[in-house]
A and B are shown apart, each in its own frame.
Chain A
């Protein structure tokens, strides 16, 4: 803990498919600033798209909280998707490849998990759902603009 610190948190609403596009753009921008490479950015933004859509469609909308992480030289991004929808009754089932309740190919949650390094679900029926993920830039931070 001594050498890690968190900076400010950005909170974005997820209420429509326009919001999904906005969330993707914001995440890509922050990830690029933190030094995520192109492939890593693409993986993270794709995972975010899956999870934000899950919040929108299954949770009836909600929000995402985005926090930059610093651990020594490592840079990362934590995203928490929260909704107050019906909750997930069977998390194991929801995490199964091919399991779908609607619009996608059933790869949403299970696929998103494979695209990030940390993944956790907190949900129970009637209590809403929070899905928290984190990804770390495996590449090196972009050289900062030299001060002065």
Chain B
């Protein structure tokens, strides 16, 4: 190892030891800083505990000589906590810049304590330690921001999933008959959700027939047709027969033009026709009875 590398490492170790030794004092000071005070409002002890966890993380990263490494194992353990803190600040209207500033504000109190540790606060060793600690708190800031941003991505991903599910309701039409009215474009992600919801509904309703109504699907290209056929095949493996309904004349023409073979799939022009087909297949006869309220006797 180079001389400089060795020196840097021993500095990092010194910083790590300092953080451990002064954990309580640092935590007490941080607990009053905006970042912790505004998040942990229930009790100050709670804030102090959270601060201690962060001090531990910094100490561990320093001990490993990884003051610049946001993937250092120490940070991983406080990632969830930091993410929750950042999310909580964001909910109360703090901008990302403000949150970053609040994390930066944590540096000063610790630096002050660190300087106090050295007989000569202006000496080389003290300066090196201050530099290492500054880099470490800089890394902490990146970790917080990265965690906050990825929390944002998670929210978006969750909303996207929920939207997909909301957009594909499975309806029970009759005992043993379920239907999915498809509306909008049927891409791969969407067709996965459709397939899963439909198969789960087949189990839940003990369905023998499943109707895929594509009245609301604007175009059927070969990819959409392939998705439909996969869904039909998966339903069959679960013991249910699929009927594809709502094939408008224009779509029927496109299918023929593209040379897509839906020959093995049962198709009907309307949802009503598909339901009639399914009922007949199940041996259910729908007949018009006497008007309600008229006695038979």
Contacts and interface: CB of A to CB of B under 8 A. Distances in A.
A5 B153 contact: no
B212 to A, nearest CB: 19
A72 interface: yes
Interface in A103-148: 139-141, 144, 146-148
Nearest to B151: A73
A3 B70 contact: yes
Contacts of B150: 72-73
B80 A72 contact: no
Contacts of B151: 73
B157 A147 contact: no
Nearest to B153: A73
Contacts of B81: 147
B53 interface: yes
Contact of B80 (A39, A140, A147): A147
B175 interface: no
A140 B70 contact: no
A3 B146 contact: yes
Q: Main SS of the interface on chain A?
A: loop
A140 B152 CA distance: 12
Contacts of B153: 72-73
A101 interface: no
B157 A140 contact: yes
A5 B81 CA distance: 20
A2 B157 CA distance: 22
Contacts of B158: 140
B55 to A, nearest CB: 14
Nearest to B71: A5
B120 interface: no
Nearest to B50: A148
Nearest to A37: B196
Contacts of B77: 147
Nearest to B195: A39
A5 B158 CA distance: 24
A121 B129 CA distance: 49
A60 to B, nearest CB: 34
Interface in A21-40: 39
Interface in B244-276: none
Contacts of A144: 80
Contacts of A3: 70-71, 146
Interface string B67-78: 000110000010
B154 interface: yes
A52 B196 CA distance: 27
B36 to A, nearest CB: 15
A42 to B, nearest CB: 11
B154 A140 contact: yes
Interface in A1-31: 2-3, 5
Interface of B: 49, 53, 70-71, 77, 80-81, 146, 150-151, 153-154, 157-158, 161, 192, 196
Given A140-B158, A147-B80, A147-B81, 17 more contacts: A2-B70, A3-B70, A3-B146, A39-B192, A39-B196, A72-B146, A72-B150, A72-B153, A73-B150, A73-B151, A73-B153, A139-B161, A140-B154, A140-B157, A141-B154, A147-B53, A148-B53
13 contacts: A3-B71, A3-B146, A39-B192, A72-B146, A72-B150, A72-B153, A73-B151, A139-B161, A140-B161, A144-B80, A147-B77, A147-B80, A147-B81
Interface of A: 2-3, 5, 39, 72-73, 139-141, 144, 146-148
Q: Which 8 A-B pairs have the closest CB atoms?
A: A73-B150, A5-B71, A72-B150, A73-B153, A73-B154, A140-B154, A144-B80, A140-B158
